[in-house]
Amino acid sequence: MKRELYIQIKKFLREVIRGTEFEGHVMTVGGCVRDELMGLEIKDIDMCVSLPGGGIRFAEWLKEKGLTTKGVTVYPNYGTAMLHLTAFPDVELEFVQTRKERYIDHSCRNPETAFGTIEDDCMRRDLTINALYCNVSTDEIIDITGNGVNDIRDHIIRTPADPDLTYDDDPLRILRCIRFASRYGWDVEAETMAGMKRNAFRLEIITKERIHDEFCKMATCQYPVMAMELLRETGSMHFVIPELEETYSMMQNEYHFGTVWEHTLAVLGSEKLAFGNGQNAVKSEEFLVLWLAALLHDIGKIRCREVTEDGKVHFLKHEQMSAEMIDELLRPLKFSNEIIKEVAFLVRNHMICKTWGYECEHMKDKKLRRLHYECKTEEHFRLLMTLIHADNMAHAEGRCMPRQVELILRRTEQMKAEGSAMFGYKLPLTGKEVMDMKGFTPGPAVKECLEYLMKVAFANPLREREEFVKHLLGYRLQR
């Protein structure tokens, strides 16, 4: 929402609570305060009330005054209430009492909560920049740690309390710290960083669903390469995709520079994969699929690496192994079947153009049309081309093939203009027609004939139906 709307809501509540028990006790907190100070648009408005049971009490009071619409949703276990004000019906507000937390069971991150002071409330939060309060009655910014406002100014990420206590209580905050640092490109304060490293092992208690959520937010942040490096440096990657740890020190061959991990980061850092800059035109799910494919496109090298007697390093068919590993890597992180399938497709095909030549001198039209067909849509084809270009450019100097994808796309445009591109192509003959013409029953013979007709189409998809019939009638089974 616009900052102006946020300011209007604060002014509205200021007048409503004037002269009541709530005056001076109602505060906006967290992201909305941070974002207003940073001059950003406001995503959500969270509010706390520094009175026992204050969140629910204040929400019910607003309802009794006839100031709410759609009723009030109450979560008594957390002392939280959500509502919409009649004056601002499109904005959901969440109210909670200021509280303190006590973590008794270290095998989970569910604390006992009770009313606490604003100081207690501040110290339970994840970062100083998220522990800022704005008193609705005075519009005063309350910075209890004395660091929050300065950390925004100085671009510093740090915890409000001792990081060992913060991360031991709730290790998910380690991932949140990484996400916020890479969202803004800010430095993690030294002791906070050390605390993340010391407590990374605690991430074992975090559910895969919560790791999935934070990981996806890292993928779409402004600096995803930074996020991956922080996962590596803190040891947190072990609880996300541990197989990537083997790539950190794995050296490659003359086609590459550095390690598999360094190559992967170079692919992720490609200008074409600048996901977080808001300029990428692909849809959010396609965006995530492409990023995951870039991260995992070479993961199969950890199982395919071979060194010959003369010391040469090879990763034969690593793209196939990488694709086969996608399910075992992403399913535990609760990615959907569709995302897993699409990531595996991109990974499996990221090497498909390598033999076409630096200037596409070995590219055949029928091979390009086959790729169009297998991608199904032009959008999916362009995602693959983005991955291939990023991978090409992350090779050793002289091995980058900088113009290859440009030339493939140029030829694709020519094919579209002449009507021979094969996105969504369908043969002019059906399986039933093949059976009728050849006298076959359903089975492998029909499949073989259809595969043969597709090869005919790849050579020239503009043929008339009659030509396909002639090819079919003259075809002799090979199996």
CATH no. of 3-154: 3.30.460.10
Run of H or E including 45: strand 45-49
- Give the 3-state secondary structure of residue 240: coil
pLDDT for the residue numbered 455 = 97
Quickly count: other Cβ atoms within 10 Å of residue 383's Cβ.
21
Q: Where are the domains of the chain?
A: 3-154, 241-418, 431-473
User: Residue 109 class from Cβ within 10 Å (0-12 exposed, 13-18 middle, 19+ buried)?
Assistant: middle
pLDDT in tens, 89-117: 999 999 999 999 888 877 777 778 889 99
Q: Is the pLDDT of residue 410 over 90?
A: yes
Q: Is the pLDDT of residue 147 over 90?
A: yes
DSSP one-letter string for 111-149:
-EEEE--HHHHHHTSS-GGGS-EEETTTTEEE-TTS-HH
Work out the average pLDDT over 424-449.
96
pLDDT for the residue numbered 41 = 93
pLDDT for the residue numbered 281 = 41
Which band of pLDDT confidence, cut at 50, 70 and 90, is reported for residue 311?
confident
Work out the average pLDDT over 347-375.
96
Q: Residue 163: left (phi > 0), alpha (psi -120 to 50), or beta?
A: alpha
pLDDT for the residue numbered 105 = 76
Q: Is the pLDDT of residue 287 over 90?
A: no
Q: Is the pLDDT of residue 121 over 90?
A: yes
Q: Is the pLDDT of residue 276 over 50?
A: no
pLDDT for the residue numbered 279 = 40
241-418: CATH architecture: Orthogonal Bundle (1.10)
Mean pLDDT value across the chain: 93
Do the Cβ atoms of 175 and 203 come closer than 8 Å? yes
Which band of pLDDT confidence, cut at 50, 70 and 90, is reported for residue 285?
confident
Quickly count: other Cβ atoms within 10 Å of residue 70's Cβ.
11
Do the Cβ atoms of 263 and 298 come closer than 8 Å? yes
Same fold, 3-154 and 241-418: no
Do the Cβ atoms of 117 and 25 come closer than 8 Å? no
Residue 125 vs residues 137, 196, 419: alpha-carbon distances, Å: 23, 15, 59
Work out the average pLDDT over 327-332.
97
Work out the average pLDDT over 242-268.
92
